[in-house]
Amino acid sequence: MYSKKIVIRYTPDIVQQPVIYQLVKQYNLVFNILKARIFPRREGVIVLELSGSKEDFDLGIRFLKDMGLKVEPLSKSVSQNIDKCVHCGACTAFCPIGALSFEKQTQKVLFDPEKCNGCELCVSACPVRAMEINLL
């Protein structure tokens, strides 16, 4: 089974359509909503983990893009700005899944974007705003 975390950006004209339902019904994909900000008649964003066969996944992503939705991997939306980071470790205490960790030997904060679920807790915890999450 293939699984990947993605960010889908909605436009106001598409936000009322049952897009996720179509992914399940037409492409046999299983989804887990990690984060969502969707409002009627406004732009929205949803972070999903999609699972299924690689072929169904690719067809589902093509369907979303053909509808005019912007689809990107979650790892492109979350980053650690090394130039800003002072490696204080404050963010590591708030990361619920261990995407951020403190390496004692180097005294550095390490970020694993593959583990990140886009919860944004690290953004508010970081005093220098080194964690950059662009979900909107």
Instruction: Specify the CATH number of the domain 2-76.
Output: 3.30.70.260
Determine what percent of the chain is predicted with pLDDT higher than 90: 55
Predicted model pTM = 0.60
The identity of residue 36, as a single letter, is A
Delimit the domains of the chain by residue range: 2-76, 79-133
CA angle 34, 38, 41 (to 5 degrees): 165
Q: How far is CA 66 from CA 3, 14, 62, 105, in A?
A: 21, 12, 6, 48
| Structure confidence by residue, pLDDT tens digits, 2-54 | 998 898 988 888 878 899 999 999 999 999 998 888 887 888 888 899 999 99
Token readout for 99 is 């995407």
CA–CA distance, 133 with 14 (Å, rounded to integer): 23
Topology, domain 79-133: Alpha-Beta Plaits (3.30.70)
**76, pLDDT greater than 60:** no
The alpha helices in 67-126, defined as continuous H runs, are 74-77, 121-125
- Packing angle, helices 19-27 and 54-66, rounded to 10: 140
Domains 2-76 and 79-133 in one fold: yes
* Burial tier of 135 (Cβ tally within 10 Å: 0-12, 13-18, 19+): middle
DSSP, collapsed to helix, strand or coil, labels residue 102 as strand
Average pLDDT (56-85) is 89
